[in-house]
Amino acid sequence: MRRRGMRRVRRRMISPPAQLGLGIGWRPQLALAIERCPSIDFVEIVAENFNCRAEVPDALRQLQDRGIPIIPHGISLNLGGADRVDARAVERLARLAELLKAPLVSEHICYVRAGEIENVLAAKKLLPVPLALENIARLFDWPAGELSEAEFLSTALEETDTLLLLDIANIWANAHNLRADGLEMVRALPLRRLAYVHVAGGAEHDGIYHDTHASPVPAGVLELLEELCSVTHPPGIMLERDDQFPSERELHSELNAIAGAASRGNVRRQEITRTRSPTP
């Protein structure tokens, strides 16, 4: 049978990485602990801290030799700004991705209605690998915002065909600070585009939770991570720690807690799938 003409034109979605595993944000203060930790499958680096042109920095070469994927994470491309995107900054990120043979790169996406779609598309054109965008923490809402955070993210990621870097600690913080349901927010996100997950700890000041990346991951964030894993399988999950660096033992127990929450969620998801489709 001739199928020509019956074929429907469908836009193909960019596919998330197959499997990244358990990761951590690489920081100079954590370098030794990371080097000695066998359970780390991938690392993420702050792209702005590596100004390299031709050679992989020594600190990262060892990780590369171990076959650990390195993901450059930009923090200042300003994709959500009203200004046009800075092509030079994007090109720097692109060079770094090529040099490190990164599977993807990531950046933040602010929550400011439309406008950034053009910036994301412009940035994507200059990048040699897929781009994942991260939801941010916010203490206040943009007044008269037309879209909810999840609606905004879904629209932005669909229209630009980019991946999702889900910061579960930010979702938990936003839910806590803006009195919303974290799980509901997670479920409304475009999870089929999920590339990896950020997990971090923060602290409460005057009734407001701040995602400082300077404290152990709170139980609430781990619970939300478990819930996330009970509805989808994130290709990668990683810990972010930027200050008040813990001892190696504490760091390992943080990573274990994350892996534990993820595996509890996985088990629940598999149970749900089994009960829904019982084998005859």
Partner 1 sequence: MNPARASLARQQRELALALSGRGDPPAGFDRARVAAASQSLARKRERLVEKQLPRLVECLGPRFHRLFSEYRRETVLASGAASLEDARMFCRWLAGHCELREDAKRELLRIRCRWSMQLLIAAVRRACFACRLSFTKIGGE
Based on the shown chain and the rule CB under 8 A, indicate whether residue 144 belongs to the binding site for partner 1. yes
User: Which residue from 20, 79, 89, 197 is in contact with partner 1, where contact means CB under 8 A?
Assistant: 89
Based on the shown chain and the rule CB under 8 A, indicate whether residue 159 belongs to the binding site for partner 1. no
Which residue has 């839910």 as its token pair? 175
Based on the shown chain and the rule CB under 8 A, indicate whether residue 253 belongs to the binding site for partner 1. no
Which residue has 């509890």 as its token pair? 264
Based on the shown chain and the rule CB under 8 A, indicate whether residue 1 belongs to the binding site for partner 1. no
Based on the shown chain and the rule CB under 8 A, indicate whether residue 114 belongs to the binding site for partner 1. yes
User: Which residue from 13, 52, 87, 112 is in contact with partner 1, where contact means CB under 8 A?
Assistant: 112
Pairwise CA distance, residues 203 & 217, whole Å:
10
Choices 8-16, 122-130, 205-213, 253-261 (CB under 8 A): range interacting with partner 1: 205-213
Q: 53-58: list long-range contacts, CB under 8 Å, 24+ apart.
A: 53/95, 54/99, 55/99, 56/99, 56/100
27 CB-near residues (< 8 Å, 6+ apart): 46, 241, 242, 245
Based on the shown chain and the rule CB under 8 A, indicate whether residue 115 belongs to the binding site for partner 1. yes
Based on the shown chain and the rule CB under 8 A, indicate whether residue 184 belongs to the binding site for partner 1. no
Going through 99-162 in order, the beta strands assigned E by DSSP cover: 105-108, 131-134
User: Which residue from 86, 161, 223, 248 is in contact with partner 1, where contact means CB under 8 A?
Assistant: 86
Length, in residues, of the chain: 280
Tokens of 70: 């390195």
Count the site residues for partner 1 by CB under 8 A: 26
Choices 3-11, 14-22, 58-66, 113-121 (CB under 8 A): range interacting with partner 1: 113-121
Based on the shown chain and the rule CB under 8 A, indicate whether residue 78 belongs to the binding site for partner 1. yes
Closest to 263 measured CA to CA, from 20, 68, 69, 21: 21
Amino acid at residue number 221: V
User: Which residue from 10, 58, 82, 280 is in contact with partner 1, where contact means CB under 8 A?
Assistant: 82
